Structure 1
Amino acid sequence: MQPQKENMEINEDIVIVGAGIAGLATSVALHRLGVRSIVLESSESLRTSGFALALWTNAWRALDALGVGDSLRQLSLHFTRFQAFSADSGLPIAEISLEANNKPIDYDSRCIKRQEIVETLEKELPPGTIKYSSRVISIEQSGVFKLVHLADKTVLRTKVLIGCDGVNSVVAKCMGLQKPVDANRSAIRGYVEYPKAHGFEPKFCAYFGGGVRIGFLPCDDKSLYWFCTFTPSDYDEKIEGSPTKMKQFVLSLASNVSKEAYNILERTSLDSLHCAKLKLRSPWDILKRDNIVKNNTCLVGDALHPMTPDIGQGGCSALEDSVVLARCISEAIFARKLIKVEKLEEGDELYKRIKVGLEKYAKERKWRIFSLISTSYLVGLAQESNGMVISYLREKFLAQFTIKTMLKMGDFDCGKLLK
C-alpha cells in the first residue's frame, strides 16, 4: 500500500483561476504594472479552441492599454460598414457606414480568431506564470487568506483570488453566487477558411427576424466567422451531438438569406461547428457588491457577467474588466510597497488596502456590466421576435437602432494602465 501524498502548501500573492482571455488579460495587465500573479489552468496546454469573436472599439482600447492592440490589428480586417437584412425576406433593412469621406471614423470594429488573442497574450507573460494541469477542486477561507486546493493535492495560500474561470466558475460558486440563468435561446457558431482570398468586403452582415439572428464577419482575407442564435422551439437537443444535423438545421433557418451567405454556411466543415445554450447573469445580481467582490476575492469576464451575444460584448467587457481590476489592485498595493508582507492579519494595512482596491473595482464596473447584460438581452429579444408588430418595427426602425446600439455600447474607454 503506497503512502498517501500529503498536501503541499505554497504562498502566492495573487492567484488567477482560468487561462482564457479574461485570465490572461488580467495577468498581463498586472504584469505591466509590476505586480506578479500566477494563472491556474486545468488543461494541459493553452486552450486555443473556439473560433473567433467580434471586438469593438472598447476592446481595442483595452488591448492598447495591455500593449498588444497593434500586433493584433495586423491579423484582422477593419469593418467599413454594418448591414442588416430581414431574415424573412432577405431584403436589406438598415446600413451604417464606418467611414467618413473614405476615411475610418472613430470606431475600431474587427473580428479576430480566439487563438490569436490568447497566444498573443500568453507571449506577454513571464515564463512559468501559467500553471497548467492545475484543476481547482475547492476553495476555503483561512483567516484573511484564501486556500486554493488543486487536484494534485497542492494548496495555494493567496492574498488575492481572481476568478476568470467562465460561466461555470468554481470561484463564483465559492463566493455564493447563484448559477447563471437560461436565456431560453441557443447559438450555433461556425468558421470557414478558404484556400485563397474569399473576396468578401470587410463588413458585418446580420439577418434579423423569424425567430433567428444570423451574422457573418470576415476575420482576414481567407477566413470568415458566422453565428446563428435562435429560440429552440423546433430544435431537437439531439442535434447538438450530430454536426451533420446541426448543419442541416442552420441551413433550414437560413433559407431566405442571400445566396452568398447561404454558401458560407454550406461550405462550413462539420468539425468547425459548435452549439451551446445561451446563459446570462441576472443584471440585478450585479448590483449587489458582494457578487463582484467578497473580501479578497473577485470575478472577471464570464465568471462575473455571462451575457447573450446580441451586442457582441462578452469578450470585450472581459478585457475592460482586466484593465480596471489591475489598475485598482496596483493602486492599492503599491501605495506603500506592501505586496511582500507575509504575515497578514485582519487589521493589517495591506489587507485593508486590497479590500478597498477590489471594492473600487466593483464600484467602477457594476453599472457598466448591468447596462451591457440588460441591453444585450433586450436587443436579442427585439432581433429574434417574430410577431407581426415587432417584425414591422424591426424592419422600419429597430434594425437601424440595433446597429447604433452596438456601436454606442462599444464606444467606451476603460482607461490606461498607469504605473
Structure 2
Amino acid sequence: MMMEGVEGDVVIVGAGIAGLSTALGLHRLGIRSLVLESAESLRTTGYYLGMWPNAWKAIDALGGIGQILRAKHTQLIGIVTTSVVSGDITAEVPIKSADSEGDSGLYAVNRKTLLETLGNVLPRETIKYSSKVVQIQDSDGFKSLHLADGTILRAKVLIGCDGVNSVVAKYLGLSKASSAGRSSVRSFVEFKNGHGFEPKLMLFFGKGVRFGVIPCDDHSIYWFYSFHPPQVSNNNGADKKIEDRMKLKQHILSTIGKVPDKIRSVIEETDATNIEYSPIRFRHPWNLLWGNISKGNVCSALEDSIILARVLAAALRGERRENEQQRIRKGLENYAKERRWRSIDLVWSAYISGSVQMWDGVVLNFIRDHILAKFLGGLFLKKASFDCGKLN
C-alpha cells in the first residue's frame, strides 16, 4: 500500500555520524527533522576513529555529549611517525591537552559509542529505520522521497548523509566515488594484562604501505593498514586473495618492514575474525569544485553539521513565511559556498598525504623521511584547528 504525507520540515537520509549530528543540531535549535536509515537499526559496525579538535568543537556545540564521550575515552598526547624502511622515528609532534573550553586534544573514539550517544539524546521518533530511498522527485516546492516499501514522504529540505553510494549525491549530479587505488584494513585487539603503550598516535609508512596503531585505553588497541592490493578487486569489492582474513593478516605481517616487536605483536595478537577489509573510494576534488553540493532545497552534508543546522534554523524561523523556500535555497547556497573549499582542501590533503606516506624508492624515501615528515605531522594538526562556531 502506498502512503504519502509531509514529514516535518527537514528529512535527512542516513543515520551515520553526519546524519545524527545534523539532526541533533537542528533539535537543539528547535527544528524537527526525520532521519531515514535503510538498515533495521543503527549501523554500529566498525571500530574506532580519531576525533581531532575540530570534531570536538562541533560535538561540544551540540551540548552535553562531549563530556560523556571524553569520560569514556583516553586522550592522546602526541603523534609519532616511523619509517618502515629504516626503522627510525622521523618525527614526533606533541598534542596539547584540552584547554578550559574542552575544544582541543585528540581521542580515539569508539564509533558505536559515538553513534549510540548521539541517538540516545534525540527524540525517539526522529529516526525511521528500514527506510531505503530509491527515488527523489520535485513536487510543488517539496522533495518527494520514494522509499523501497512504497512509502512516499515529502520534505521542505532534504539532506544527504548517506555515504559514498549516496542517492542524494546522485540526485545532485555528483559522479560516483572513484577508487583511490588503495585498500584499507581496520582491526581491534584487547590485551588482558595491558598493552604498555603511551597514549600516542603511532604512524608507520614506506614501501607502499601505511599503517597506524592507536591505544584506546590501557587494554585496547585500534590499528589500521592502507596498501595497494595484490590484484584488482572485483565488483563485490573483495578479491579471492584478500577475503581470506588469515592470508590477509600474514600479508600485513610480511609487509610492515622494520618495526619494533611490540608493534608487530599488535597484529600477531589480533583475531583474524576482527579484521575488516575495504577498498578506499573518494570523490575527486574537481567533483566538489564544479559539481552541485546543494540544489534548490537539497544539500549533501559533507562535514559540518553545526553550520548546516544554523543555516536551516535561520531559514525556517524567518518571519516572512511566504519567502520560506527562497530563504532555504539562499541559505543552502551560502552553506555550499562556504563548505566547498573546506571540503576540497580536506579531500586533496588526505589524498596527497596518503600517497606521500606510501612512496617507495631510495630518493623518495629520503625526501619523505627527512624533509616532509614533520610537515605532514603538522599538517594533521593544522587541518584539525577549524572552528565551526556555536549553534546560537
Give the alignment's TM-score, normalised by structure 2: 0.93
Q: Does 1:322 align with 2:302?
A: no
Q: Which runs of 5+ in 2 are unaligned?
A: 234-238
Moved more, 129-138 or 241-250: 241-250
How do residues 1-400 of structure 1 correspond to structure 2 at under 5 angstroms? Answer: 5-67=1-63, 68-99=65-96, 107-233=104-230, 237-288=239-290, 291-301=292-302, 318=303, 321-336=304-319, 338=321, 348-400=322-374
Deviation, 1:277, is: 1.0
- Shift, 1:138, TM fit: 1.2
Does the 8 A contact of 2:307 with 2:388 survive in 1?
A: yes
8 A contact 2:318–2:324 mirrored in 1 = no
1:202-250 Cα deviation digits (max 9, x unpaired): 0010111111111001122221111111122568832332211221111
Secondary structure of the 1:241 match is coil
Cα distance, 1:186 vs structure 2: 0.9
CA distance in 2, matches of 1:235, 1:349: 52
CA distance in 1, matches of 2:194, 2:120: 29
Q: Deviations over 1:178-206 (max 9, x none)?
A: 10111111111111123343221100101
Q: Tell me, in whole angstroms, the C-alpha distance in 1 between the residues paired with 2:124 and 2:363.
A: 57
Whole-angstrom CA distance in 1 between matches of 2:158 and 2:241: 38
Distance in 2 separating the partners of 1:221 and 1:334: 48
**89-98 vs 148-157, which moves further:** 89-98
Q: Distance in 2 between matches of 1:24 and 1:279?
A: 23
8 Å CA contact 2:57–2:103 kept in 1: the answer is no
Give the whole-Å Cα distance in 1 for the aligned partners of 2:7 and 2:368.
56
CA gap 1:234/1:153 in 2 versus in 1, 3 angstroms: closer
Q: Which amino acid aligns with 1:299?
A: S
1:137 aligned counterpart, secondary structure: strand
SS at 2:8 equivalent? strand
1-structure distance, mates of 2:168, 2:382: 32
Pick which of 53-62 and 84-93 moved more.
Answer: 84-93
Aligned counterparts of 2:140 and 2:241: Cα–Cα separation in 1: 49
Contact 1:26 1:323 in 2 (8 A): yes
Check 1:387–1:337 CA distance in 2 against 1; reply closer, same or farther (3 A cut): farther
Going from structure 1 to structure 2, the CA distance change for 1:6 and 1:395 (only over 3 Å counts) comes to closer
Question: How many residues align structurally?
Answer: 383
Q: Which amino acid aligns with 1:86?
A: S
Pair 1:234–1:169, CA change in 2 (3 A): closer
Letter in 1 for 2:306: V
- Other structure's SS at 1:110 match: strand
Instruction: Give the corresponding residue for 2:236.
Output: none
| Structure 2 counterpart of 1:381, one-letter code | S
> Residues of 2 paired with 1:337 and 1:122: CA distance?
33
1:390 Cα deviation (Å)?
1.4
1:93–1:396 Cα contact (<8 Å) kept = yes
Runs of 4+ in structure 1 deviating by more than 6 angstroms, as ranges, are none
Residue identity in the other structure for 1:49 = T
**Matches of 2:193 and 2:19, distance apart in 1:** 35
Q: Deviations over 1:240-284 (max 9, x none)?
A: 322112211111122422111110011111221111111111112
Whole-Å separation in 1 of the counterparts to 2:255 and 2:220:
22
Q: Distance in 2 between matches of 1:221 and 1:20?
A: 28
1:49 match: secondary structure: coil
2:380 is aligned to: 406
Whether the aligned pair in 1 keeps the contact of 2:26 and 2:313 (CA below 8 Å) is: yes
SS at match of 1:128: helix
Q: Percent identity?
A: 45
CA distance in 2, matches of 1:106, 1:6: 47
Question: Secondary structure of 1:213's match?
Answer: strand
What is the rounded CA distance, in whole Å, between the counterparts of 2:193 and 2:34 in structure 1?
A: 41
- Once residues 45 and 259 of structure 2 are traced to their aligned partners in structure 1, the CA distance between those partners, rounded to angstroms, is 28
Aligned-residue Cα RMSD (Å) equals: 1.9
SS in structure 1 at match of 2:124: coil
Aligned partners of 1:121 and 1:11: how far apart in 2? Answer: 21
Distance in 1 between the 2:340 and 2:129 partners? 31
Amino acid at match of 2:21: A
Mapped contact 1:56–1:107 kept (Cα < 8 A): yes
Give the secondary structure class of the aligned counterpart of 2:240: helix
Q: Is the 8 A contact 2:54 2:103 kept in 1?
A: no
**Change in 2 beyond 3 A, CA 1:168/1:69:** same
Could you state the TM-score of these two structures normalised by the residue count of structure 1?
0.88
